[in-house]
Amino acid sequence: MKLKYGKEEVRLILPDKNILQVLNLKEQEVLSNPEEKLKYLLKNPIGSPSLKELIFQKKAQKILIIVNDITRPTPYKIILPPLLNELDEVGVNKEDIKFIIATGIHRDNSKEELSNIFGEDLISTYKFINHNADNPDLHYLGKLKSGNELWVSSLVSETDFIITTGVIVPHYFAGFSGGRKSILPGICGRKTIETNHSNMVDPNARAGNLKDNPVHEEMQDAAEKVGLDFNINVVTNEKHNIVEIVAGELLKSWLKGVEVCKKTYLYSIKQKAEVVIVSTGGYPKDINVYQAQKALDNAYQAVKPGGTIILLAECTEGYGEPIFEQWMKEAESPEDIIKRIKKKFVLGGHKAYGIARVVKEVEVILISSLPDNKVRKLFFIPMNDLSQAIDYVKNKYGKDFQAYILPSGNTVVPQLI
């Protein structure tokens, strides 16, 4: 079988006797005409009046549309034309529509990347702004129920109507992406994001779980405090084809999408395996270690204590975030990172913690474009290819070792039943 690696594919040669199960995305029927479904939802949304009616009620003129960055593959060339046509029909001027890229603490997206995501026509017609979590002109909206201070992009205070867009997939500590994540972390200040993400150490902050999840609850509170007007989210399959579109009131529409996401991405298993072979799902999910860590976390759910994870992630942009890289370089052991995060939570350091809690329990082999010394600083074992890694686990566990294979590790979440 073939596994994605960057923009290419690599072949995995493994006898059937060694494959316990291939944990693929569950096949869902793809929408035959997603544009038409979205047009219908804009006029007949979930839990709210139509988009047109909402804009008239607020007498809104200035529209802010929150969109994902390059690390969250979202089919914007399908989603945005019906939305922009509807805004045009309502009488909103093009120059009064702004797009903000919900980067959180990720880097800015380049003009070339924006062109690839949205198309040259859109980025030349509308104003696209990369959010900056360290911008000194952030807008303060007071304290959340948790006590966290809510700092958001100043564009929020300069607009009449906010539309969130995104894709719903499992998230390793927020439960699921989409919905409220467009605000927190999407367009919040670094301190607000940092305080929110510090709750990732809570046992309820895990992939596929919303119940008593403090990260999710605070994100929802932030979204409500900002006052979002309309939400458009999609659930996609591995090829980024749309299997569901939801639109309307933020929480109600998003939760409907979450139910479809669960059926697509959560995979029940009856036992854990000695070995898990995992691909992130290729570019851009393996653009750097920062992004690829999600696949590691999901694979960890399926491996026995003391087992081995073989992670396939090209990581052309290296570690992907300076603070994360600094923490990994300064640590002498996984325990150093765990102690450090409990003493003081720092964004970027949270990714180091995500890796540390895995490598403390299991062995990780990384096949990537990174130099060996950088791989070892992650407490991973560097290897050149899958063949070398398979030989290694054969020697360790015997020729009859059992393995799960996760071709889309950044999104498929194994759940032990």
CATH number of the domain to which 250 belongs: 3.40.50.11440
Q: What pLDDT is attached to residue 411?
A: 84
- Catalytic residue positions, numbered: 106, 171
Q: How many helices (H) and strands (E) does the chain have?
A: 14, 20
The CATH number assigned to the domain holding 346 equals 3.90.226.30
What's the structural domain count of the chain? 2
Q: What pLDDT is attached to residue 162?
A: 98
Dig out the tokens for 144 from the structure: 């959340």
Dig out the tokens for 114 from the structure: 């924006």
Among the three residues 238, 265, 292, which one is the final residue of a domain in this structure?
A: 265
Q: Which amino acid is at 184?
A: L
User: Can you give the length of the chain in residues?
Assistant: 417
Give the count of beta carbons closer than 10 Å to the beta carbon of residue 269.
16
Q: Which residues of the chain have pLDDT under 50?
A: none
Dig out the tokens for 338 from the structure: 């765990």
SS3 139: strand
Instruction: Report helix angle 76-90 to 34-43, nearest 10.
Output: 40
Tell me the pTM. 0.84
Q: What pLDDT is attached to residue 51?
A: 98
Q: What pLDDT is attached to residue 209?
A: 94
Pair 106, 38 in one domain: yes
Q: What pLDDT is attached to residue 347?
A: 83
Alpha-carbon span 256 to 252, nearest angstrom: 6
Contact criterion met (CB below 8 Å) for 223 and 184: yes
Tokens 């002109």 belong to 137
Pair 79, 182 in one domain: yes
Among the three residues 230, 265, 300, which one is the final residue of a domain in this structure?
A: 265
Pair 20, 40 in one domain: no
Range of the domain at 352: 2-25+270-416
Q: What pLDDT is attached to residue 27?
A: 82
Pair 258, 293 in one domain: no
Contacts for 246 with CB less than 8 Å, ≥ 6 apart: 41, 46, 231, 232, 233, 234, 253, 254, 256, 257
Pair 224, 356 in one domain: no
Task: From 215, 185, 207, 147, select the one nearest 71 (Cα to Cα).
Answer: 185
Q: What pLDDT is attached to residue 257?
A: 98
